[in-house]
Amino acid sequence: MKATSAYEELKGATGQEVRFRAPRHDARKLFPQTPPGVRMGSGLYPLRNISVGGLALTCGQEAADLPAVGETVRLTLQQSGLPIFETEAKVCRREDNVLSYTIALRFVNAFVEFEKLLSRNAQAQIAANTQNANPALVRGDYRMFCADVLAMLRSHKTVLNQTSAAAREAGYVFDPDSCYDASEARLIQQWRALWLAGNELVRDITHSADLLRATKEYTELVLTPELCLGPIWERAYFKPLGYPGDFEVMNYLYSGQRAGTDTYAMLMHRLGLECAHCVVTRMEVVQTRIAQTVEAIGGARPARILSLGCGPAREVELYLAANPGSGRVEFTLVDQEEKALLQANEKTYPHILRGNGRAQVQCLNLSFTEILRAGSDLDKVAPQDLIYSVGLLDYLNNRRAMALTRRLYNALAPGGLLIIGNMNDTAMSTIWPMEMVTDWSLNYRDEAKMLSWAQGLAASMAWTEVESTGHVRLLFIRKQPLHPD
């Protein structure tokens, strides 16, 4: 009997997978140090992914003169200002997200030879490093500061390694939890002092694009790899969903649990939790306002509450868990990320079932552009008693932030409350750890700037508060009731 060859037993793809597509390489993985940028027209945009026949790029909402689908443009991949690949490309898809556009392009009469591309990328980086080996690019005091931060972190690592080695040599079991507990308080104390010093050093740097870029690159070379041993830093820096504060980063913060491959990695993760703990405290403020809103409506009708940029909607989950069947409420959760809405739905659904119909949750997958556009699904939502967006507007420039504030205010019911959160411009802001270490760029604003967003609105009251860490400022705008007292 003739045996069937292994080749004959191989199976091909089925269904949609029958149509072969060249693999797309994530830019952060293919170019782990610094991905090249995409020069298109007058703009230079981050490369998102690339295949043999095309690429996708990301550009902010403020980008101007973007090409339309079907248009052919000239593209240049640039590394450290040097061209490494050039071609014409046709726009085949354009996606509008809350904070950015993603544009997919197909090369015209050209293709990528990855061996050559990677080689040219490395050559450009080496050339740039040689040209830029000038201490004047990064201030001396900032270089010394980074050395101090690294020395402090490594001092904890050395103690942990030495303790672990000594325990093994003596035949004892190393207790990582006890060492974590012993290190945590001192590490946080040292970190806060350095964090404050880092903020002071970079305050002037942010006003110079060239100095900011050089300082960030230096920080990412010296400190980011060390801190990225902690999972929260790693996810914020590498941005697998295209932006730093995605719903999984929020989940790390809400859980507050230890994460990492060893004790030192867990301590690095703990520093990330410390930097962004304001995410938890601002959520607690919103949770309190949800309870107050539902109580104020009183059950005559459902309280209507909308969250824009909801992420995993932890505050809704916690409210429903703590108040089973206590009041009628309809939540509308809006986010650009479908995975975030899926998680929010899964976490709130059991509580909805237990509420015997007194609570409802609907999820809307909308982009920022759709939200601002008249006639969008937001216009179909009934007037809301409470609207809040506490993690979105600090990504927007002042013009867009003001336009979105007005849009949300108009969606309020008479007497309704709008809550807008923004990172606070203060000495102990998060600008150094977020901007320099993880390339997490935000707009930091004070009370006057945020109150200006309420100008021209027929509001009965407008004021700001800060949550308990002082890192987030919250703008409250109360709409005039129908029959004011």
Q: What is the pLDDT of residues 134-174, one digit of tens each?
A: 556 899 999 999 999 999 999 999 988 888 888 777 877 77
Mean pLDDT of the chain: 88
Q: Does pLDDT of 33 surpass 80?
A: no
Domain boundaries, the chain: 13-131, 136-275, 278-479
Q: What is the pLDDT of residue 6?
A: 43
Q: Answer yes or no: are the C-beta atoms of 306 and 298 closer than 8 Å.
A: no
As its CATH architecture, domain 278-479 has 3-Layer(aba) Sandwich (3.40)
- What average pLDDT does this structure show over 33-59? 88
Superfamily (CATH H level) for 13-131: predicted glycosyltransferase like domains (2.40.10.220)
Q: CB–CB of 156/264 below 8 Å?
A: yes
Cβ within 8 Å of residue 295, ≥6 positions away: 327
Q: Whose CA is closest to 470, among 406, 426, 418?
A: 426
pTM of the model: 0.78
- Cβ within 8 Å of residue 301, ≥6 positions away: 328
Residue 124: pLDDT over 70: yes
**Mean pLDDT over residues 48-69, rounded?**
84
Lowest model confidence (mean pLDDT) among 15-29, 62-76, 173-187 = 15-29
DSSP 70: T
Share of the chain above pLDDT 70, in %: 91
pLDDT band, very low/low/confident/very high, at 325 (cuts 50, 70, 90): confident
Q: What percentage of the chain has pLDDT greater than the value 90? A: 60
- Which residue(s) pair with 423 in the sheet? 472
pLDDT surpassing 90 at residue 120: no
Higher pLDDT, 400 or 331: 331
Whether the pLDDT of residue 304 is over 90: the answer is yes
Once rounded to an integer, what is the mean pLDDT over residues 74-88?
89
Q: What are 418-430's pLDDT values in tens digits?
A: 999 999 999 999 9
pLDDT at 61: 63
Q: How confident is the model at residue 99 (pLDDT cuts 50, 70, 90)?
A: low
